Structure 1
Amino acid sequence: MSRTLAIGDIHGGFKALQQAFERAEVTEKDKLIFLGDYVDGWSESSQIIEFLIEISEKQECIFIKGNHDVWCEDWLSFEQGPDIWLFNGGKSTVESYKDYSLEELENHLVFFQRMKPYHIDEQNRLFIHAGYSSMHGPEKEVYSSNYRWDRTLWETAVAMDSKLQKNSELYPKRLLLYSEIFIGHTPTLDIGMTTPANKANIWNLDTGAAFTGALSVMDIDTKEFWQSDPLPSLYPDEKGRNK
């Protein structure tokens, strides 16, 4: 039986991705939707991209582009990256690419360029890395960078009164546009949760893999999820993005 699985932010943690996939018993029949931020943090960013390219040739995959992926794409294009990127995990990504040929780098660049800003499925479920600010949805977003940077969508859902009904005039119009919204970008650790968090109709799958948390994979229909071990235990000699 095929499933549709959503995968949270990976941040260079290839061991975590492999472990989570093993625990979820992922097969080639499963459709995989990755929510972005594949790189920056732990030491295996380039290995993750290589793996994702390989599995995309075997099964249906959708790759959403995150803010860290934009930074890496720019670096692959121009061979230089901003200090803010290097400070936020980019150094480990650059190091992971040190033995790659120009042809291999070009192949990875093409992969980044083909990533989607967001995806809407047949059941009107939205998959986006961060969020959007327009009350008319991401299609009407003035600043496309919000797809990768916006936190207000998640902050709104977290701050909402759980008793607020959808037919209320106060219910955020942005949230009424989709049956469900799946995001990453803002670690659930920020609200004290180590597992995927549900607020209003948003599911946040960034469970802090870049820091002290785990990587999460979720069946979007059943909401069953699987997690890796916390990333620091898989990379005991590294800091990831922990300062």
Structure 2
Amino acid sequence: MERTLVIGDVHGGFKALEQVLERASVTTKDTLIFLGDYVDGWSEAFEVLNLLISLKASHNCVFLKGNHDELFYDWLTKGKDNPNWLHHGGQATINSYKDRPYNFIQIHTHFLENLENYHLDSKNRLFLHAGFTNVKGIEQEHFTKMFYWDRSLWETALACRNLDKSDEFYPERLTIYSEVYIGHTPLSRINKDKPYCAAGVWNVDTGAAFTNPLTIMDVDTKEFWQSDALPTLYPNEKGRN
């Protein structure tokens, strides 16, 4: 059976990524859509990217860009860092890449360079890391960084979760796509650790960067599988602040 599976923010949790792929019984017939933020948090960012690159060779994969992926790419290519990034997981990623072979660094840099801003499938389902701000949709978005930095889409969806689409004040932004899948804003902020849908926007970031599990979900059936909570997989680490 061919499935479309969406995977939330990994944040260096290689062990969790291995678990969800195994628990979902992923095969080469499945399409895998990764929502970004592969690095910054737990200690195995290097191993995460290695696994993603190998999956790209064997599976039908879509790799979306997260804000943490951009920050890491800037550090790799320009030596750019900042105290805020280092504090929010960047230091763990730098540590993970210490003394790695240069050819692997080049391969990983190329991978990050080619991440996609969004993916729109044949069923008008939109996948992106964070959101968009233009009321006409992604093709009219003038600020492409919003695809991996915006939080207003999710905030708007939460505010409208109990409204009917026929309401005259219902946001136009939430009517364009049949469904939207995002990560970026951990659901632990609203005390949830499972995928949650608000006004047609599915948030799959179940807080793996912090104390919750990583999630993979079948976008057709909404069945999902989760890893163990990340602190149990990395008992000597703190994850992201």
TM-score (ref. length: structure 1):
0.97
Q: Decide whether the 8 Å contact of 2:132 with 2:141 is kept in 1.
A: yes
Counterpart in the other structure of 1:46: 46
Q: Secondary structure at the match of 1:52?
A: helix
Counterpart in the other structure of 2:215: 216
Q: Which amino acid aligns with 1:210?
A: A
How many pairs does the alignment contain?
A: 241
- Once the 2 structures are TM-superposed, how far is the Cα of residue 209 of structure 1 from its aligned partner? 0.3
Q: Which amino acid aligns with 1:2?
A: E
Q: Which moved more, 1:71-80 or 1:119-128?
A: 71-80
Q: Which moved more, 1:174-183 or 1:142-151?
A: 142-151
Counterpart in the other structure of 1:131: 131
- Once the 2 structures are TM-superposed, how far is the Cα of residue 168 of structure 1 from its aligned partner? 2.2
Q: Decide whether the 8 Å contact of 2:12 with 2:93 is kept in 1.
A: yes
Alignment of 1:144-223 (within 5 A): 144-162=144-162, 164-223=163-222
- Once the 2 structures are TM-superposed, how far is the Cα of residue 165 of structure 1 from its aligned partner? 2.0
Q: Following the alignment from structure 2 to structure 1, what is the Cα–Cα distance between the partners of residues 36 and 102? A: 24
Q: Following the alignment from structure 1 to structure 2, what is the Cα–Cα distance between the partners of residues 80 and 135? A: 33
- Once the 2 structures are TM-superposed, how far is the Cα of residue 166 of structure 1 from its aligned partner? 1.6
Q: Which amino acid aligns with 1:229?
A: D
- Once the 2 structures are TM-superposed, how far is the Cα of residue 106 of structure 1 from its aligned partner? 1.0
Change (3 A) 1:32 1:92: same
Alignment of 1:86-125 (within 5 A): 86-125=86-125
The root-mean-square deviation of aligned C-alpha atoms, in Å, is: 1.0
Counterpart in the other structure of 1:225: 224
Contiguous gaps of at least 5 residues in structure 2: none
Q: Following the alignment from structure 1 to structure 2, what is the Cα–Cα distance between the partners of residues 156 and 15? A: 33
Deviations 1:88-107 (A, max 9, x none): 10111011111212221111
Contiguous gaps of at least 5 residues in structure 1: none
TM-score (ref. length: structure 2):
0.98
Q: Following the alignment from structure 1 to structure 2, what is the Cα–Cα distance between the partners of residues 96 and 74? A: 16
Q: Following the alignment from structure 1 to structure 2, what is the Cα–Cα distance between the partners of residues 2 and 61? A: 13
- Once the 2 structures are TM-superposed, how far is the Cα of residue 161 of structure 1 from its aligned partner? 5.0
Q: Following the alignment from structure 2 to structure 1, what is the Cα–Cα distance between the partners of residues 227 and 29? A: 21
Counterpart in the other structure of 1:32: 32
Counterpart in the other structure of 1:237: 236
Q: Which amino acid aligns with 2:199?
A: A
- Once the 2 structures are TM-superposed, how far is the Cα of residue 210 of structure 1 from its aligned partner? 0.4
Q: Following the alignment from structure 1 to structure 2, what is the Cα–Cα distance between the partners of residues 237 and 165? A: 47
Deviations 1:24-75 (A, max 9, x none): 1111111100000000000000110011001100010000000000011111
Runs of 4+ with deviation above 2 angstroms: none
- Once the 2 structures are TM-superposed, how far is the Cα of residue 142 of structure 1 from its aligned partner? 1.9
